[in-house]
Chains A and B, each alone.
Chain A
């Protein structure tokens, strides 16, 4: 049996192999990477299906105290082996999911449901047991705690979350696991304008958070490096906000990574206590009708760009609301609806927010010279401290409004200066430019682009690149001839100019046309030139030669050559 036959048999067996594999049994394995872990450590749920690729996994049911990571997979692998004259194929599918315990205790993870080859399978047969123990060493070397967390806030009231964590160990890596990071339902983070921190630590393996290092503080007589993660939030809806256990992981470096070996770390964990905040709704009782949603302890200030203004001039009134409150979220007062502002026109409003300040600038135009002050701008604010609605108002601003054009001075009043332009009395019969039709124009635009593309393609295909040096020389030949004849002072120069013209037109060097017998050239190349033209051309060449080879080298009449050149160009040479 030659090698080609053996190769054929091998490939035939390889093609049949999947059939063999499909007939093999299917097995499912589900297990935990570890059954005993320290609190703070992460473990993995591994799911392995052997013998088919047609498998789907349902997410495991939640277990209180365990946080599931995303399900990674499916990862499909296929192996073909040739053993003992048989080709066997193995296919397997794998998934993995991280699990992070949030408390000490014993847990039972129920069997996982899978759909394998269209059949529902539950694996393993019994629930998986997991035991989580306290990391006592971690609690000695690390800590994490939440400080001054309020137990209740009102909807819209800002509150601070001050998370402190630290360690007495020196060299290592820090990881934070915060179940409520980076976003938590029912709260919005607000920017405080404080320094955002001195370090950026990884959070939940996927995010980063800026933290500030505080002064070292002793704990049980040992100095600890202390870090602070401070954020300000606003509760957006009534209910209970739950903040689950946060974990601080410090990986102490035992041996650093090198080119030849991976580093070794010893991990310590510390957990904070979970806490919850009750969010109360802003009470309906006593709520003023013109309350615009402000909550907090706010004060107000006002500023104007000028106090002495002409009637019809503009005053910019800037009102700022400061303090601990939802400055970004309430509606600023509408001066058009406030009493006291009837004699002002509000031309524009510019609204901006800076950290703990809300700043609104109103462009006011006093319409009467009787105005003596800008009235207070009031606003109702719900105070969470006193649980009442408080009216905060700016102080009035004394202004002077001058009447433009004192009547006693004989000048017209500003109000009388302005009036409508008169009606247009004369009927017009002008039709203006009649529309051409947008559709037609659109069609024309497309046609122009299409014709341009078609034209340039055809021209380049049949005549070559019009911008090539040879084509440019050909186009410029007649112009160059005229210029050369204008400055030539001898028959030999004229002869060379004519030769150059023909060279440029025909794509040949000028020297090829010096002394060439045009009648012979015409006969050889088969160019059908009229007798008269050939005779004229030959005469011009003969005259040029005769003059050039005489002692005088007198130029001949240049118009003869120009006429000849024009005729040749017209004939397509």
Chain B
């Protein structure tokens, strides 16, 4: 077992070294005003990254690089991809809203009640959401023990309160369970993307999808992805016109 662990450690060490080297090279390229090269290197580093925090950081940097290449909608897409890993990063939200405004898209957080609740729900990562619920369940268990042994109105209220609290604490996890499985894409072509009935340029174009629209993936073929439009239809879009938000 020790030998096996040593071997794994020896194998992973050069990988981490390589990833760090790619990151440094990308940073140098970015500072030297070569965002295209920086993007290529950061994408390679992203493929090797295992930590969620690191993936979020790399997606954020890729968003900056895309913006410096004047690909504003793609920068928006990278920031959205980073939100999955680092949902409470203030710089990320600021850059996202800045780029959405530059691209003439609606703000990601309008500040109304619905958006505020959504932002609150997704402000925790999947792991954090589960730990939050676990803590709430421990509170519920304690209140349950107290109610069983002591009874009385106060303990009953405490138990009911703990039950309500654990329901509230479960809501971020429910949101993650609902959304994490979805493979969403953003239309990044500046003039929008064409939604075809079949994965072919000759197929009839059923809809014009505006840039910045986020749609759920239904199917995928080489160079084509089938997305569910707001009316629920499945439309084939060229992958060059769209951007997968799951990175």
A interface residues with partner B (beta carbon < 8 Å) = 336, 345-348, 418-425, 427-438, 441, 444-445, 448-449, 451-452, 455-456, 459-460, 465-467
A-B contact pairs, 7 of them (CB 8 A): A345-B101, A423-B61, A425-B27, A432-B52, A433-B128, A436-B134, A437-B130
Bound: A449/B145 CA distance, A:
11
Residues of B within 8 A of A435 (CB): 126-127, 130
Bound: A220/B106 CA distance, A:
68
Q: Are B51 and A428 in contact (CB under 8 A)?
A: yes
Residues of A within 8 A of B65 (CB): 423
Bound: A449/B151 CA distance, A:
16
Shortest Cβ distance from B177 into chain A, in angstroms? 6
Q: Are A429 and B51 in contact (CB under 8 A)?
A: yes
Q: Are B130 and A428 in contact (CB under 8 A)?
A: no
Residues of A within 8 A of B20 (CB): 427
Contact among A346, A421, A452 for B147, CB-based, below 8 A: A452
Contact among B61, B67, B98, B140 for A448, CB-based, below 8 A: B140
Of residues 122 through 170 on chain B, the ones whose CB sits less than 8 Å from some CB of chain A are: 125-128, 130-131, 133-134, 137, 140-141, 144-145, 147-152, 155, 159, 166, 170
Mark contacts of B60-100 with chain A using CB atoms, 8 A cut-off: 1 yes-contact digit, 0 otherwise.
Answer: 11001101000000000000000000000001001100110
Residues of B within 8 A of A425 (CB): 27
Q: Are B130 and A441 in contact (CB under 8 A)?
A: yes
Residues of A within 8 A of B127 (CB): 432-436
Residues of A within 8 A of B118 (CB): none
Q: Are B149 and A424 in contact (CB under 8 A)?
A: no
Residue of B nearest to A467 (CB): B151
Bound: A2/B187 CA distance, A:
95
Q: Does B53 contact A (CB under 8 A)?
A: yes
Contact among A346, A430, A452, A465 for B104, CB-based, below 8 A: A346
Residues of A within 8 A of B126 (CB): 435
Beyond A345-B104, A445-B137, whether A432 also contacts B57 by CB under 8 A is no
Contact among B52, B61, B133 for A441, CB-based, below 8 A: B133
Q: Are B98 and A420 in contact (CB under 8 A)?
A: yes
Q: Are B54 and A429 in contact (CB under 8 A)?
A: yes
Bound: A490/B131 CA distance, A:
57
Shortest Cβ distance from A463 into chain B, in angstroms? 9
Shortest Cβ distance from B61 into chain A, in angstroms? 4
Residues of A within 8 A of B152 (CB): 466-467
Bound: A182/B209 CA distance, A:
40
Residue of B nearest to A426 (CB): B57
Q: Are B128 and A432 in contact (CB under 8 A)?
A: yes
Q: Are A445 and B61 in contact (CB under 8 A)?
A: no
Shortest Cβ distance from A159 into chain B, in angstroms? 32
Shortest Cβ distance from B62 into chain A, in angstroms? 9
Q: Are B64 and A428 in contact (CB under 8 A)?
A: no
Beyond A441-B134, A452-B147, A456-B147, whether A420 also contacts B64 by CB under 8 A is yes
Q: Does B173 contact A (CB under 8 A)?
A: yes
Residues of B within 8 A of A445 (CB): 133, 137, 140, 166, 170
Residues of A within 8 A of B30 (CB): 423
Q: Identify 6 new A-B residue pairs, CB closer than 8 A, beyond the known A438-B173, A452-B159.
A: A421-B94, A423-B30, A435-B127, A445-B166, A445-B170, A466-B150
Bound: A421/B23 CA distance, A:
18
Residues of A within 8 A of B95 (CB): 420-421
Shortest Cβ distance from A446 into chain B, in angstroms? 10
Contact among A430, A432, A466 for B149, CB-based, below 8 A: A466
Q: Are A438 and B64 in contact (CB under 8 A)?
A: no
Residue of A nearest to B150 (CB): A466
Residues of A within 8 A of B19 (CB): 427
Residues of A within 8 A of B125 (CB): 432-433
Q: Are A452 and B134 in contact (CB under 8 A)?
A: no
Residues of A within 8 A of B91 (CB): 421-422, 424
Residue of A nearest to B79 (CB): A420
Residues of A within 8 A of B151 (CB): 456, 460, 465-467
Residues of A within 8 A of B133 (CB): 441, 445
Residue of B nearest to A429 (CB): B51
Contact among A433, A441, A455 for B137, CB-based, below 8 A: A441
Shortest Cβ distance from B152 into chain A, in angstroms? 4
Residues of B within 8 A of A436 (CB): 127, 130-131, 134
Bound: A460/B152 CA distance, A:
12
Q: Are A456 and B104 in contact (CB under 8 A)?
A: no
Beyond A424-B60, A441-B134, A445-B137, whether A467 also contacts B27 by CB under 8 A is no
Shortest Cβ distance from A153 into chain B, in angstroms? 31
Bound: A445/B57 CA distance, A:
34
Residues of B within 8 A of A427 (CB): 19-20, 23, 54, 57
Contact among B51, B61, B170 for A431, CB-based, below 8 A: B51
A-B interface, 4 closest residue pairs, ranked by CB to CB distance from nearest: A467-B151, A452-B144, A433-B127, A421-B91
Q: Are A448 and B54 in contact (CB under 8 A)?
A: no
Residues of B within 8 A of A452 (CB): 141, 144-145, 147-148, 159
Residues of A within 8 A of B101 (CB): 345
